[in-house]
Amino acid sequence: MSELISLAANGVGLVLETGPGLPRVLHWGADLGPVDDALVLASTPGVAPSSVDTPIRLTVLPSEQEGWLGRPGTAGHREGSYQHVRPELIAPVAVDGNSVTFTAADSLAGVEFHVELHLDPQGVLRVRHEIVNTGADTWTVDALRLLLPVPTHASELLDLTGRWCRERSPQRSPFLHGLRARESRRGRTGHDATGLLVAGTDGFGFRHGEVWGVHLAWSGNHEHFAERLAEGVSVLGSAEILAPGEIRLGPGESYATPWALFVWSDRGLDGLSDRLHAWMRARDSHPSTPRPVVLNTWEAVYFNHDLDRLKALADRAAEIGVERFVLDDGWFLGRRDDSAGLGDWYVDTQVWPDGLKPLVDYVRDKGMQFGLWFEPEMVNPDSELARAHPDWLLVAGDRLARPWRQQQVLNLAKPEVFDYLLERLDSLVAEYRIDYIKWDHNRDLMEAVPGVHGQTAAVYRLLDALRSRHPALEIESCSSGGARVDLGILGHTDRVWASDTNDAVERQRIQRWMGLLVPPELIGSHVGPPEAHTTGRVTELPFRCATALFDHAGLEWDLTGLSAEELAQLTGWIAVYKRLRPLLHGGVTVRADHTDHGSLLHGVVGDGHAVFCYARLETSPDAVPARLRFPGLDPARRYTVRAIPELAPAASRFAQQTPWVATGVTLPGATLATFGLQAPLLGPAQALVLELTPA
């Protein structure tokens, strides 16, 4: 006889049916309230012609045994035998608050499965599986997938793709019969990683529609997929992609999947973000101090390290209010360009005859924190390390992978490699009392033997070991920009670098879609020079400042060559950022489904206080732009809307401006959300930042 298990949190419901066989998911979506056996009757499908003789019911670990002919929940074998396991419950399903766990086993095949489902207070459903080899010889794990059903009225799919300097580009498709899979075999998350795979009702947007999403919190090879069978079953799923023979379990050994996060909302994509951001902010490890204004030296000096020049840069940074000074690539042994030195993590005395202490002390005397760039997982063949330890490379025998940025990969799963890197990092952090590490990772892993799984797990262990020795140390995950952005790496670091481009036009789109998964305080965004070094596009300073304001803000620019006017503008922008960062990094991210071609409207809403950015990225066929309708406001509260003068664009290139921009305007939240305000006339690559305060 079956029983129902019903979990609910923050408007989300999960209903499981237990009974003969493994638990089955009857419902995942809106909280249904109290349920009874009538739900089983209401959800039992008929038997389709030319099909198995009983209704197909999707379990938490689906297989061909139950008639599921999509991607199976588990795949593996014992030296070619038992490719199709039939796990059965070996103990009652355990329920503890909003957590469900159970153990199932196939005693003939000699495998046991432990399944966990946790519905967290924010409405995020976390799922993880573990397989244990209970047999007498080796069990090979080919796949262990995490998947949940979605209803047939989820008719569209959204995923993200991209490339270097163009990460997080959305693409939509119908949710048709068959498989839509986004796979990454890059050894890191990837510039083209979807981050969040979403299924939704027809035409869903940021502020409307019912949507279901899945994210795998893992930084190695992985898949996200949506599958719909003609038999009427649709699923969203994810898994680590394992190479053939990568996970071979001896007797008693186990393999656990990364956590998959499943999220649902009836308020469009912003509803998914709201749950995920709240879940991230509830972690014990989430940064609790204000996100400091950063100056990173890369685009200011590149490899041209000179103490006097860097001191002058620190002078300007301190004068305008910078709080963290980060010395980028070029400080270590033999590192005059990117062709040599990686792996030799010793200060180069030819460039720094007295070590880094003179610069570190100077930066600290100016009241700033000090940060340093590393790329621990990589090595240049032209390095003392590679010459001394060719066996430390992550390669197939003696066959090097194709070079990428003139570098190879170190095998961190080797204890001696792990110990060397931990000793070097620990020593340097301790010697210079480093506050912050920019941890880079500039190539995909190719022909990675013994495997990406062990490498990724070792990276996590290395990060944790370093932070355990230096609890106050903060670490940024950079990976040639945004190629390692996932909630797995963010479980071990404090922010991600969104993209190697500081082109503010590109950044507006990149940050908009990166924010679907990651809260703004964990996304690095810097003001670069007028001409972006990645695209050659020239944009004015107020637009670059407006773009960087809405995430973890900083600069990447040679401030020593700036005019007094430019320095004054930056000083004003930093003051605005410091004033607004409690709101920016604690409020609710909102993105309008704005209909005006070539422009975006996004913001952050708090309790009676909000800030929005209206950004025009390109020209529109409309001479007069559409009204701005502000989402997320309290409809009963009156707000005064004013442009922030420190971020005002340069003089408009048009003759007439909308009158409320100069005077401000006060309206109810309901009016601002539905009727809106006439948008100002802006040219391409111009923005207006608007602050909404209680009237």
Residues 6+ apart with CB under 8 A from 434: 370, 371, 372, 428, 470, 473
Taking the C-alpha atoms of residue 533 and residue 301, their distance in angstroms, rounded to an integer, is: 13
Residue 450: cis peptide before it, omega within 30 degrees of 0: yes
The full 3-state SS of 364-427, as one line of letters, equals HHCCCEEEEEECCCEECCCCHHHHHCHHHECCECCECCCCECCEEEECCCCHHHHHHHHHHHHH
Residue 663: C-alpha distances to residues 291, 333, 543, 652, 693 (Å): 32, 58, 21, 16, 14
Task: Find the farthest-apart pair of alpha carbons in the chain and give their distance in angstroms, rounded.
Answer: 82
Report the 3 state secondary structure along 213-227: EEEECCCCCEEEEEE
d(CA 522, CA 287): 9
Place of tokens 């207006």: 688
| CA distances in angstroms from 664 to 44, 555, 644, 681, 692, listed in the order given | 58, 30, 10, 16, 10
**Of 435, 440, 486, 503, which one is the catalytic site residue?**
440
Q: What are the backbone angles phi and psi of residue 370, rounded to the nearest 5°?
A: -120, 135
Task: Give residue 653's region: left, alpha or beta (phi > 0; psi -120 to 50).
Answer: alpha
Q: Which residues pair with 161 in a beta bridge?
A: 169
Q: Is 622 a catalytic residue?
A: no
Q: Is 500 a catalytic residue?
A: yes
Residue from 274, 494, 500, 503 carrying the catalytic annotation: 500
Radius of gyration of the chain (CA): 27
Q: List all residues 6 or more positions away from 268 whose beta carbon is below 8 Å from its beta carbon.
A: 200, 204, 205, 206, 207, 208, 209, 211, 593
Q: What is the 3-state secondary structure (H, E, C) of 263-321?
A: EEECCHHHHHHHHHHHHHHCCCCCCCCCCCCEEECHHHHCCCCCHHHHHHHHHHHHHHC
> What are the structure tokens assigned to 155, written together?
């008719």
Q: Tell me the Ramachandran region of residue 33: left when phi exceeds 0, alpha when psi lies from -120 to 50, beta otherwise.
A: left
Phi first, then psi: give them for residue 441, nearest 5 degrees. Answer: -165, 95
Question: Catalytic amino acids?
Answer: 440, 500
